[in-house]
């Protein structure tokens, strides 16, 4: 199998707060390191009660400080929410503290709703053209200082933290190819453009200082348990979350239920199932076959596994099963 990594949304379950969620993510990162996973990423989201990773750089430092070998990074930092200089300083600091272990994945979506976007002091009038410029500026701030350069990221300059472009559309694929950067596609929740994006990225890739060939990572939901029946029941937590999102009532993760068919309407089922198209749910053998099929479909260089469950021990066990199969 290809390298396998983890995207952790630092889920907050019903009845708990981020105070309980964050130590669980550290525990999972420590297990992931022992299981042999390649990297452990967290994502920037704002004003979402089910996700405790809004202060993404802080969470990365917490996770990196509690582990010793696994790569830790962002999947991703929503760069238009920030000054490139601030991100260069934050990730330069992380790289200085945990050398050779930090990844910087970048996205251009706000990671929130329109009202929260304004609360972030983000200019809603900024267009897509600003994101490529911000990426180039960030690259230059992490590069060695040039003669006459008056603004430096301290810490940051010279660290050359590896940058990834994240996306769920063709825009990110084209940008990653043009800049010669590794590309991660969010097929775990936005599957529609997966194959076209991968094709564009691979065909248009231009070698760079960071990468001499295309490197594509794809996201996939994986819920593994000892039996297919148990895994399908655990998966109802994810299905409820996507249904609630469609209802405009996104909230904390709910416990699994016996029948998802009684929870969602046929229309909700259709839409949520389309978003969750790339989900592998089942026993170790079912998951093994699913991973092999997904790899054959995508020819991915790396898989980013997403497993958001109500029960922490079931979540750790799911990642353990995947590791036994694929790592």
CA-to-CA separations, 176 to 39, 94, 181, 200, 326, in angstroms, rounded = 20, 23, 5, 10, 27
Query: By the 8 A CB rule, do 76 and 46 touch?
Result: no
- Band of pLDDT at residue 112, cut at 50, 70 and 90: confident
> pLDDT at residue 111 above 80?
no
Q: Residue 15's pLDDT is what?
A: 96
**pLDDT above 70 covers what percent of the chain?**
98
| Closest by Cα among 112, 75, 48 to 252 | 48
The two three-digit tokens of residue 150, written as one number: 């008056």
**Do you know the residue count of the chain?**
327
pLDDT digits (tens, 9 = 90+) for 164-205: 999 999 999 999 999 999 999 999 999 999 999 999 999 999
What is the mean predicted confidence (pLDDT) over 273-296? 98
Q: Which residues, 6+ apart, have CB-to-CB distance to 60 below 8 Å? A: 42, 72, 73, 74, 94, 102
Cis preceding linkage at 115, omega within 30: no
CA-based nearest residue to 8, from 320, 221, 235: 221
Res. 120 pLDDT band, cuts 50 70 90: confident
Instruction: Output the pTM of the full model.
Output: 0.96
| Average pLDDT rounded to a whole number, residues 110-121 | 77
| Beta bridge partners of residue 163, listed in sequence order | 104
pLDDT of 125 reads: 65
Predicted local distance difference test score (pLDDT) of residue 128: 57
Quote the pLDDT of residue 33: 98
For Cα atoms 289, 291, 295, give the angle at the middle one, nearest 5 degrees: 120
Residues 62-108 have pLDDT tens digits of 999 999 999 999 999 999 899 999 999 999 999 999 999 999 999 99
Residues paired with 102 in a beta bridge: 72
Collapsing DSSP to helix, strand or coil, 40 comes out as: strand
Give the other-Cβ count within 10 Å of 285's Cβ: 10
Give CA–CA dist 17/2, Å, rounded. 35
| Chain segment 29-66, per-residue pLDDT in tens | 999 999 999 999 999 999 999 999 999 999 999 999 99
Rounded to whole angstroms, how far apart are CA atoms 315 and 319? 6
- What is the phi/psi pair of residue 282, to 5°? 160, -165
pLDDT surpassing 60 at residue 127: no
Instruction: Using the predicted structure, report yes or no on whether residue 113 has a pLDDT greater than 90.
Output: no
Name the residue among 240, 226, 168 with its Cα closest to residue 201.
Answer: 168
Task: Kindly report, residue by residue over 136-147, the tens digit of the pLDDT.
Answer: 999 999 999 999
Of the candidates 155, 153, 152, 177, the one whose C-alpha atom is nearest the C-alpha of residue 167 is: 177
Give helix 56-65 / helix 18-35 axis angle, nearest 10°: 50
Give Cα 21 to chain centroid, integer Å: 17
**Residue 39 pairs with which residues in a beta bridge?**
71
Q: What pLDDT was estimated at residue 116?
A: 80
Q: Where are the chain's structural domains?
A: 1-161, 220-298+310-327
Q: How far apart are CA 144 and CA 156, in angstroms?
A: 9
The CATH architecture to which 1-161 belongs is: Alpha-Beta Barrel (3.20)
For the chain, give the mean pLDDT.
Answer: 95
């Amino acid at each position: 199998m290809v390298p396998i990594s983890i995207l952790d949304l630092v889920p907050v379950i019903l009845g708990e707060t981020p105070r309980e969620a964050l130590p669980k993510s550290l525990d999972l990162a420590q297990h992931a390191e022992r299981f042999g996973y390649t990297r452990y990423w967290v994502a920037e989201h704002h004003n979402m009660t089910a996700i405790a990773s809004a202060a993404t750089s802080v969470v990365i430092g917490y996770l990196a400080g509690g582990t010793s070998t696994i790569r830790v990074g962002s999947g991703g930092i929503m760069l238009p929410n920030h000054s490139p200089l601030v991100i260069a300083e934050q990730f330069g600091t992380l790289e200085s503290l945990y050398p050779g272990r930090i990844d910087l994945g970048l996205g251009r979506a706000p990671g929130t709703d329109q009202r929260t976007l304004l609360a972030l002091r983000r200019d809603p009038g900024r267009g897509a053209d600003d994101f490529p410029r911000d990426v180039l500026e960030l690259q230059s701030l992490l590069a060695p200082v040039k003669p006459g350069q008056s603004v430096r990221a301290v810490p940051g300059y010279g660290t050359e933290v590896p940058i990834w472009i994240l996306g769920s559309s063709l825009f990110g694929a084209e940008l990653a190819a043009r800049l010669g950067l590794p590309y991660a596609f969010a097929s775990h929740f936005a599957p529609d453009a997966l194959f076209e994006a991968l094709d564009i990225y691979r065909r248009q890739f231009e070698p760079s200082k960071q990468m001499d060939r295309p490197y594509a990572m794809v996201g996939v939901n994986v819920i593994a348990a000892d039996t297919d029946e148990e895994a399908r029941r655990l998966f109802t937590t994810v299905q409820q979350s996507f249904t609630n999102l469609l209802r405009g009532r996104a909230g904390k993760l709910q416990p699994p239920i016996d029948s998802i068919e009684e929870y969602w309407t046929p229309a909700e089922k259709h839409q949520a199932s389309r978003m969750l198209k790339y989900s592998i749910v089942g026993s170790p053998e079912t998951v093994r076959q699913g991973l092999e099929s997904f790899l054959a479909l995508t020819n991915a260089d790396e898989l980013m596994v997403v497993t958001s469950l109500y029960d922490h021990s079931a979540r750790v066990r799911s990642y353990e099963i995947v590791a036994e199969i694929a790592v």
